[in-house]
Structure 1
Amino acid sequence: MKVINNKGVKRLLRKLTLLVLPFLIWPLIEVFFLPMNFFTFRIWETISVNKMRVMPGPFYPNIHMKMEEEGELAPHTPFAEKRVVEWYTDEYGYRNRDTKADVLLIGDSNITGAKLSQEETLAEVLERQIKKDVYSFAPATMNRFLATDRFRETPPELVIVSSIERRIPELPAVGENGINSKIRNFTGNAIHSSSFLTWLAVTADRISKLGLYHRTLATIDRNLGSREYISYNNEFFIEGDTANRDFSEQEIKQIADVLEGYKVVLQERGIKFLFLPIPNKENIYYQMLPSKKKPDFLPRLIAELRKRDVGVVDIQSDFEHLHQKKKVALYPVDDAHWNNVAVEVAASLVSQRVQGNSPNSDKKENFFVGYEE
């Protein structure tokens, strides 16, 4: 009787193994046989770090890739606008061709350059204008910068912190989650120092992405109509009317406290600071929204920062003029990130500001005075 039971158990295990085997083998096929971007619609999803958040950067290092992309708000739909973009990442996994950094840009996906080709990113456009090496440290935070050894050893002359408007209230104060940044610096240095550890981390992360599985789920969601797209006048938005909410005076001051803290901690290291807020698409295109409510958050925050002598560049005014007076598109139809035209405008204003010629600067300060070329 026991022999029969053992044979039955073995048969059951063989059947279960055959059933599970394709699910175990398929992720390996994705990683070792299929193109990296076989199931993705953007390079961002293709090379971004998924689970192995012990690596030094947010993307896989030393990547050069070109791909036809679609916007994040309506991929694989008739509304998607396709565009060929090119990416380079450096040895640390940030979107740069090299690691030189006279000026360091800390920011979100707008600074990284979602749906922009490499030469269209703010770092590269600004670099061409100011003739300084500009490094894109994004997506990242001030605390990640403060905990990164390589910037202590070779500090930049100027740090520009940027944020899309909707995430400005979430900017962490100096010291918040500092331990996580220190741990990431330690593990990142260890992985960066070993080509084998880098390969192992990238391979494990690619396996964890389960591209076919997530692509299938997304397709089912779209076919069932479970995903809601916020669209007005044939433009897609990430938040819609809720983006242009009111802020109290106390909230404005609390946000200004955080940004002033950035300036202070950088001054202690002999580094100059500048803040670059990027308006939401809903901000500049507010007339397309049902409420047609014009937000006042950024002008109020900029005024508060100037009272505190915190360097800030106002790009909202120029964006409003270009869009409302000249009908210039500053954001893709199917995406919430700025486009290459908006980047050129922002880079020009930042360039004027850091060289002491900005029309929205209260004083003629050249950020690079006192530094050797």
Structure 2
Amino acid sequence: MQNTGVKKLLLKLTLLLLPFAVWPLIEAAVLPINFFTFRVWETLAVNEMQIMSGPFYPNMYIKMEEEGELAPHTSFAKKKVVEWYTDAYGYRNRDSKCDVLLIGDSNITGVKLTQEETLAEVLERQLNKEVYSFAPATVNRFLATSRFQQNPPEVVIVSSIERRIPALPAVGSNGFQSKVRDFTGNLIGSSPVLTHLAVTADRISKLALYRRTLASIDRALGKKEYIAYDNQFFIQGDTANRTYSQEEVNQIADVLEGYRNVLQAKGMRFLFLPIPNKENIYYQMLPSRRKPDFLPRLIAELRQRNIDVVDTQSTFEHMYHAENTFLFPNDDGHWNDIAVKQAANLVAQQLNNSPKYNTEQKEEKYLVGYTGKDKTENNLTTYQPAE
């Protein structure tokens, strides 16, 4: 009799939990991949399967209307239709050709930018070279990636948003982990079946409806805090413009010098591209109105060490303060297409110091309006929901 009662209890618990167990499978197998997401980043980003080659699902194409990361699903959100392509390795590129490699964070990936607005594609049109976006990633991930050891790029551009520069890892950090991921990523990428299983398992792990519901509850209860001034949203606010000691600046310069040295020893040119924080350029909007001096001091230190660095700080300051040109979306902390174009101009000018580079425009297919069909791999998985 007691066993019968236990069985009934277990049956009831199973029926109660069954919808919660089945629903993630429905999300992954039935619903559109972006059904519960507000950006392509969350849609395609690898969640738990950190054994795949790249940070995104490979061989994907998606077009959707998305919002900035700082105020999604609110009246402050600015909507924009964007297109994304990812290559066979799970990076945001139309193909895997590489003369110039861009290592960086989400700004290099191109958050809230459509494919042709990303720095890699804008710079490619400037240089008449194949530019590859290896982001988000690190120098150590690059050094441990076998395909780049076999076919190294001519130039490696390392970029970072200002707030993340102090955390750039020194050469050799996490080297073993990067080598393991290169091995497992190549193994998974060698089999369409393994790739499909890995992507499906990762989509299940995201629990998209659950996370979307929690975020909605937090907003409804007022738990989601926004840092906003003059209808501009910021990631850190005043804390972003803190003062750095000279010792800290020197330590950061040591890390970047290490990058230069190891890449130079391998016959590759190194260039550092810092990206100012939104708080840096828009500092007058913040309560303290304190103008930061971190990037100018770091750039000066790097130049003293004969390290190639692009001075985006001075140019962005002039564009915003003298020309009233906005360089960041209202609802996001990443740069916009105007800032990207100017950064590409600066990089191209710096690289043109080498006779191997020129700024001849590529043929017409690379101009605005080019669909990219001839550069898109045939095995893309396409997600293009109705607009």
Answer yes or no: same fold by TM over 0.5.
yes
Correspondence 1:181-330 to 2 at 5 A: 181-330=178-327
| CA offset digits 1:180-225 (Å, max 9, x no partner) | 1111111111111111111111000000000100000000000000
SS at match of 2:81: strand
Residue 344 of structure 2 aligns with which residue? 347
| CA offset digits 1:136-183 (Å, max 9, x no partner) | 000000000000000000000000000000000000000011111111
1:31 to 10, 28, 32: 28
| CA offset digits 1:84-128 (Å, max 9, x no partner) | 000000000000000000000000000000000000000000000
Contact 1:272 1:367 in 2 (8 A): no
Query: Are residue 78 (structure 1) and residue 75 (structure 2) matched?
Result: yes
| CA offset digits 1:54-113 (Å, max 9, x no partner) | 000000000000010000000000000000000000000000000000000000000000
Give the distance between the partners of 1:366 and 1:67, measured in 2 at CA: 41
Give the distance between the partners of 1:123 and 1:49, measured in 2 at CA: 21
Give the distance between the partners of 2:355 and 2:280, measured in 1 at CA: 30
Residue 132 of structure 1 aligns with which residue? 129
Give the distance between the partners of 1:267 and 1:109, measured in 2 at CA: 26
- Number of matched residues? 358
- How many angstroms does 1:367 deviate by? 6.0
Aligned pair in 2 of structure 1 residues 318, 66: CA closer, same or farther (>3 Å)? same
Give the distance between the partners of 1:211 and 1:122, measured in 2 at CA: 29
Q: Residue type of the partner of 1:241?
A: D
1:153 to 137, 150, 153: 150
Residue 385 of structure 2 aligns with which residue? none
Contact 2:283 2:290 in 1 (8 A): yes
Give the distance between the partners of 2:282 and 2:179, measured in 1 at CA: 40
Give the distance between the partners of 2:281 and 2:233, measured in 1 at CA: 13
Residue 361 of structure 1 aligns with which residue? none
Contact 1:158 1:367 in 2 (8 A): no
**Which of structure 1's runs of 4+ aligned residues deviate more than 6 A?**
none
Give the distance between the partners of 2:356 and 2:344, measured in 1 at CA: 15
Correspondence 1:11-160 to 2 at 5 A: 11-160=8-157
| CA offset digits 1:235-258 (Å, max 9, x no partner) | 000000000000111111100000
Give the distance between the partners of 2:103 and 2:356, measured in 1 at CA: 17
SS at match of 1:91: coil
Contact 2:127 2:357 in 1 (8 A): no
SS at match of 2:303: helix
Residue 6 of structure 2 aligns with which residue? 9
Q: Residue type of the partner of 1:280?
A: N
Give the distance between the partners of 1:80 and 1:286, measured in 2 at CA: 22
Name which of structure 1's ranges 89-98 and 190-199 shifts more when overlaid on structure 2.
190-199
Give the distance between the partners of 2:357 and 2:81, measured in 1 at CA: 36
How much identity, in percent, do the aligned residues show?
70
- How many angstroms does 1:366 deviate by? 4.2
SS at match of 2:202: helix
Give the distance between the partners of 2:308 and 2:320, measured in 1 at CA: 25
Q: Residue type of the partner of 1:295?
A: P
- How many angstroms does 1:312 deviate by? 0.4
Contact 2:101 2:156 in 1 (8 A): yes
Give the distance between the partners of 2:53 and 2:134, measured in 1 at CA: 11
Q: Residue type of the partner of 1:219?
A: S
SS at match of 1:56: coil
Q: Residue type of the partner of 1:126?
A: L
Q: Residue type of the partner of 1:319?
A: F
Contact 2:280 2:291 in 1 (8 A): yes
Give the distance between the partners of 2:267 and 2:313, measured in 1 at CA: 29
Give the distance between the partners of 1:101 and 1:47, measured in 2 at CA: 22
Give the TM-score taking structure 1 as reference length. Answer: 0.95
Residue 359 of structure 1 aligns with which residue? none
RCO greater where, 1 or 2, for CA within 8 Å and sep 6 or more? 2
- Point out where structure 2 has 5 or more consecutive residues left out of the alignment: 359-387
SS at match of 1:6: helix
